[in-house]
Amino acid sequence: MKLKKNLFAILLLLSAVINAQNKLYTEQYRPQFHFSPATNWCNDPNGLVYNNGVYHLFYQHNPFGNVWGHMTWGHATSMDLIHWKHLPIAIPEENGVMIFSGTCVVDKNNTSGFGTNGKIPMVAVYTAHIENVNQSQHIAYSLDDGITWIKYANNPVLDLHKKDFRDPKIFWHQQKKYWVMALMFPVEHIVQFYSSKNLKEWQHLSDFGPAGDTSGVWECPDLTQVPVKGTLEQKKWLLQTSQNANMQYFVGEFDGVKFTNENPTNKIFRPDYGPDYYAAIAYNQLPATVLPTSIGWVNNWNYANDIPTTPWKSAMSIPRTLSVKKINNDWVLIQKPVAAIAGLRKNKITIDNAVVSDKKTLPIKSKQFEIECTIEPAASSVSGIRLATGTNNYFELGYDATKQIFYIDRSKSGNTTLNENFTKKDRFKKKITLQNKKIKLHIYFDNSIVEIFVNDGEAVFTAQLFSDKDDGGIELFSDGERQNLVVYIFGK
Ligand code: FRU
């Protein structure tokens, strides 16, 4: 490819951010700026809540092994959503009852009555899971800022005697002055809404669904209010659901009783168009100055247990801030990496006015970096970037100008045979219309995870890849004859 003017790239080196314990966090595939448990399995983020300057991250965890099982809430905290501190297990499996996904609130007005001696309780609501028998909603509380938890003596607080009924998300509804709980009828593809004055007694409010993508069981509903980008005051309600094994969202209104979707019902909207983003939920009780922020699980149930990482399995996405924007007739979710991640930048390489003909290898090898670039594709060209390049392998992301699609392709990215579903799931795409003839990409690569924010967060792609040890090259490519590529690269 040929590049005309203005090729500008900056590459920054980021530092490893998670506290290395002995040899942990030095393993080949270990992400450095994505949260992962020190050892053993994790899946969904749970109980995301902000309390006294601290962001809590609870998560589905197996303390006994590196595959799914013995579900327990693991716990970590952060002051900036980027640097995490591991804490002891929060809520353990007990007598064969697993602690499935749920959420957490700080009960500042002690509506639950769990607060004693003036202490403010944190209350967690989760699904108690008895394999093949029952799923019901339980609560537990903490009087020491989330470190130790006491299970409520009169659990369950909601039991419909169903085998599949899970993943409560609770939050305080300011106008109605009650707690709202969203939870799933997975098989029926229905989100149910309940209300409570005290977190203990719940009344059914309404149902939403089936809608949109009903190809897999629905899990992990998340209802949160988000700003409309570019306005000072306007807000909409964002309902995200996970259906094995990807996510979708709806945008509309929630009047404290009922959710109404305002997006076209014949279209499916996804918070992530890659293979490895699931069960995302948003933080509760953030300060007014912080944008709504969500975290998702970076893995896919079709092959999750077989990814070749040890002694841990799975990581969390970069926390993403959320807003919505009306584009034509659609409310589109806009996601951005949380601002604090820019603090990890170390070195930068700038490539300006580069012209790429066929390919151009960057003068750096790295598996932890951030790239910002703008590509101006020529008509009928395919152009983009290859990461983790080596003798035989690469991970490709690019824009096909003929088809007007942005795509990622991990078919040649190293170990692709860890599970046949991983082998099959090798290419992902979405139609993206160029803006002023350009497409903007913001890419984070972290050893085995790539997250790409397209056009300022209008679409996101998250994927895992397991490249060979030495596959650390980066190259720009194009097969177009008259290609303008403008690349800004930050990263490490
Ligand atoms: C989603 C999920 C939830 C469940 C949890 C169990 O990934 O299947 O529905 O609560 O994981 O670990």
For residues 471 and 485, the answer to whether their CB atoms sit within 8 Å is no
Does residue 295 fall inside a structural domain?
yes
Ligand 1 center to residue 101 CA distance, Å?
A: 6
Residue nearest to atom 9 of ligand 1 (CA): 219
User: 127 in ligand 1 pocket by Cβ < 6 Å?
Assistant: yes
Tokens 């009922």 correspond to: 258
Q: Say whether both 470 and 347 belong to one domain.
A: yes
Q: Say whether both 52 and 132 belong to one domain.
A: yes
pLDDT attached to residue 379: 83
Q: What CATH number did the domain enclosing 462 receive?
A: 2.60.120.560
Q: Say whether both 270 and 347 belong to one domain.
A: no
Q: Say whether both 158 and 299 belong to one domain.
A: yes
Does residue 322 fall inside a structural domain?
no
* Tens-place pLDDT, residues 195-230: 999 999 999 999 999 999 999 999 999 999 999 998
Q: Say whether both 346 and 281 belong to one domain.
A: no
Q: How many Cα atoms within 13 Å fall on the side-chain side of residue 421? A: 12
Show which of 317, 350, 374 is a domain's final residue.
Answer: 317
- DSSP characters for 123-191? EEEEEEEETTTEEEEEEEEESSTTSS-EE-TT--SEEEEESS-EEEEEEEETTTTEEEEEEEETTTTEE
| Whole-number Å distance between alpha carbons of 68 and 457 | 32
Ligand 1 center to residue 350 CA distance, Å?
A: 43
Show which of 317, 352, 374 is a domain's final residue.
Answer: 317
Q: Say whether both 306 and 387 belong to one domain.
A: no
For residues 388 and 414, the answer to whether their CB atoms sit within 8 Å is yes
Per-residue pLDDT band at 485 (split at 50, 70, 90)? low
Q: What percentage of the chain reaches a pLDDT higher than 90?
A: 85
DSSP-assigned letter for residue 14: B
User: 246 in ligand 1 pocket by Cβ < 6 Å?
Assistant: no
Ligand 1 center to residue 233 CA distance, Å?
A: 35
Per-residue pLDDT band at 358 (split at 50, 70, 90)? confident
Q: Say whether both 423 and 302 belong to one domain.
A: no
Catalytic residue among 44, 167, 222, 471: 44
Q: Say whether both 157 and 204 belong to one domain.
A: yes
Q: What CATH number did the domain enclosing 308 receive?
A: 2.115.10.20
For residues 318 and 31, the answer to whether their CB atoms sit within 8 Å is no
Q: What are phi and psi of 390, to 5 degrees?
A: -150, -160
User: 409 in ligand 1 pocket by Cβ < 6 Å?
Assistant: no
User: 93 in ligand 1 pocket by Cβ < 6 Å?
Assistant: no
Average pLDDT, the chain: 92
Quick one: which atom of ligand 1 is closest to the CA of 101? Answer: 10
Instruction: Give me the amino acid identity at 179.
Output: W
Residue 22 pLDDT > 70, yes or no? Answer: no
Structural domain harbouring 249? 35-317
Ligand 1 center to residue 132 CA distance, Å?
A: 14
Q: Say whether both 39 and 9 belong to one domain.
A: no
| Whole-number Å distance between alpha carbons of 414 and 401 | 27
Q: Say whether both 297 and 194 belong to one domain.
A: yes
Does residue 27 fall inside a structural domain?
no
Q: How many domains does the chain have?
A: 2
Q: Say whether both 152 and 277 belong to one domain.
A: yes
Is 426 annotated in the active site?
no
| Whole-number Å distance between alpha carbons of 221 and 207 | 12
Q: Say whether both 366 and 286 belong to one domain.
A: no
Show which of 301, 317, 333 is a domain's final residue.
Answer: 317
